[in-house]
Each structure stands twice: as C-alpha cells, then as structure tokens.
Structure 1
Amino acid sequence: MKKNIYFILSLVMLSFTVVSCDFDDDLTEPDYVRLEFAPGAVPLGVAVGGSTSYDVNVYSAKNMQSDRTYNITVGGSIAPEAYNVPETVTIPAGSNEASFTVSASDIGLGVAGKTMVLNLEEEPEFTVGDPLSFSVARVCPGEEFSLDFTLDAYPGETGYEILDSDGNSIVKVEGSPADTSLCLASGTYTVILTDSYGDGISDGGVTISYAGTVLATLTGDFETETSVEVSF
C-alpha cells in the first residue's frame, strides 16, 4: 500500500514539474532593443544648401534566432521633406546588431536648425531604449557667426535675441543660453542680451564673433536688456 502511495505521489510531482517547465517556456523574457549613433554623428551638421548622412546603430540584448524587423519612428520639429529615414531596420539571424542611414538636407532648417527624434516602435515581444533626440543645423566652417556667453549663478534669467536689418527676429532664446554658432548671410544684425530679473549678468556677458574675428562684446552691466549692432 505504501509503495502505491509513493508511486502516486511521484506521478503527481512529475506532472507538476512538466507543467512548471512548460509554463516557464511560455514566460520568455522580452527582448530589449536600443538605438545609438555612430561615433561623431551628433549633432547633424548640414552644409548650406547641401545634405549629409550618418549611420544609426541598433542593438538587441539577445542574438536573433531568425531575422527580426523593427519599425522606425521619426519625430521632432524637422519637416518630413528635409530628411530620409527608412521605415524599418532588420537585425539578421545570428546577430544582435544592425544599422540604418539617416539623411538630412538644408530644407527649412532656418538659422537655428531643427530637432529630430528617432526611436523604434515598441511591441509586446520587446522593449526599447530612450529615443535619440538631436539637432539638425546648418554648418559653414570658417564662416560662423558665434555667440560665446559668460553667465552668472542664475543662468535661467539670461536670454538673447538676434534681429536682421529689417527688425525681424531670426533667433530668440529665453533662459540658460549656450554658446552658439550660426550660419548667417552677410549683413547687419542687432544682438539683444536680456535679463528677466532686471539685474544684468554679474561679471558676465557675451562675445560676438564672425569667422573668428570679434565684432563686439556686451557686458553684463545692465538691468533688463542691452544691445549692439554688428555688420560683416
């Protein structure tokens, strides 16, 4: 009798083991996939009137047993006609990486440039990493109009604006400006430096240059705003 009981218990335990194994197989951990720019590819610099392209790498946490295709999403402020990005990318079987090419053209970029955001469309079988967000801007080596800032302990109060000769605002930044290089046509421009608190920039200011030559300097000794007109 005891032998029969032991035999029955053994069968029950075996059935649990088999069910448990099958259940574990059904709970396959989702894959993780991320995008990464090739070295030196960010930001995207586009020659005035030209175009450029860079590679984006795709990495999976697992080697693929078969080809796996992912949908690519594109966002940001850049116009659709200004870029060329494939709709999908495929990681081949036996590998955990692939790449695709992003092309951008000087179409509607403007003076300040635009943003582009790339990612992969998430599905139940995998999760994706953070999106790639970057700027796409004109570059003009050796002919940049540059603003180099020295800020105080309250950078969020500082802003600036650039007006063309007709008084049109072509660039405006409110709060925590970064050193900037722009591609501007030759002409006359007004640079306005502002402080939202009204106490200027302690021991700070901005140096304005074109093609490496200093055109003017605005010191932080002002209240709400100060400005200067420059030509090149």
Structure 2
Amino acid sequence: MKNFRFSIFFGLIASLLLVSCSDNDDNYKSFSGPQEALLFNKSASIFEFTAAAPAFTEVLVSSTTVSNVDRVVPVVVSPFTTATTNMYSIDMSTAVIPAGQTTAKLKINSGSFAALPSDGSAKQLVLVFGSSFYALPNRTNHVVSIQRGCANTKVNLNIAFDPYASEISWLLKNASNTTIASSSPYADGLGSFTTQFCLVPGNYTFIMNDSYGDGIAPGSYNLKLTNGTTLVSGSVFGSTISHPFTIN
C-alpha cells in the first residue's frame, strides 16, 4: 500500500528537513554534508515574452560551500523538456559562481515568439545538474514555463506534491474538448510546480490524474487568477477528477 510506502519515506524525509528549505528560502548554508552540494534556489518559474523586443529571465543556482576560485555550474537540459531549442537560449557564461560567493544567476534568453504556442499554453524548459554532481534533495531541477506574453486572462496553476510527484499528471481542455496544455513527467521528490496559462473567454476543464489512485496526499493543487481568485482547487481525488470552470 502507498500508506506503508509513505511511512517508510517519512522517516527518511524527516532527516532531510534539517537541510531543505521552502521554495523562497535561500537559507541553505546550515547544510552539513560530506561534500559540496548544488541546488536550484526555486523549483519553478514563469518566463513570458512578446514579439516586441528580446527578453530574458534569471534562474538562481547555488552551492552550499564557498570557494576561492570561480566555479562553473554543470547545468544541463533534461530530456523531459517540452520547449524546443528555438524558443530559448541559455547563456552558459552566466553559469559561474564567482570566487567567494555561493550563487550564480543563470540567464535564459527569449527565442522565437512565433515558435511559442498561440493558445497561451506554456512549454517547459527543465534544467538539471550533471549526473556526477551531488544536489540537495527537492532542489535537483528547475522548470521554466515559457509562453507568450498574455493579452487575455492569466491563470496560475500551483501544485504542492506529495513525495510521489511522478504519479501526477494533468490536462487543460477547452470547450471543444481539445487539450491546450498538459504536464510533463515529474520526478519523485519535487516539492512544487507552477505554470501560467493565457486563456481567452470561454469554458474549460482542468483534469488531474494520479496513476496510483489516491490523489495528492498530503498536498494540493489550484488554479487562480492573478488577483487571487480561486477557480479550481483540490487534494485527495482518487485516480482522476475533472474541474469545469469559466473565463469571462
């Protein structure tokens, strides 16, 4: 049973709580391990741009140790990435932690606006560390949701996973039952995920799936307007659940 799996996992995760931190907490220097550990300061971000001018976003990448020399951060693109290479470029010259510091600002540049989905959905750029480097649990990857600047209604999807994120998937469908956005595979241990949709007025259905059949427990998900209004929310739902909602 999954509850039994969770009880075993809980003992392990309790020991990691001393060295892990929330998505917005960069106070990781209390970590004391046998070696240098790398981490993404946040697990997800949103990058939107228009056709008017080039743009960029920055992803913070850190080390738990200080060095007296510059260090190149071994960031690579995961095979789980759904964004195509003409949608973005990565300035690897910024993937360097300067001597005496612990953080690098990895610069992601905008690519072709025309290549982005025209329906307002996002494509994911999934960044991970090289396999030979140790990373802090729950900070091993960063998902950049790349999408067009929105002239319609922005809707934020927020997911707080249980320890089994790999079991979760979702779909967003329009009134014609056409899938306009869907999830990429998630890795167990991922703490949270955020992305944003740009939706024209109309009726939609948001579908959450759990391959194990017990939903997110503990955990939660929601769809919210940028003013904080909740359109959809949930947690325990079994194998699948559908949430209809309307954008006016």
- Which structure shows the higher strand fraction? 1
The TM-score with structure 1 as length reference comes to 0.49
The TM-score with structure 2 as length reference comes to 0.47
Which entry has the higher C-alpha Rg, 1 or 2?
1
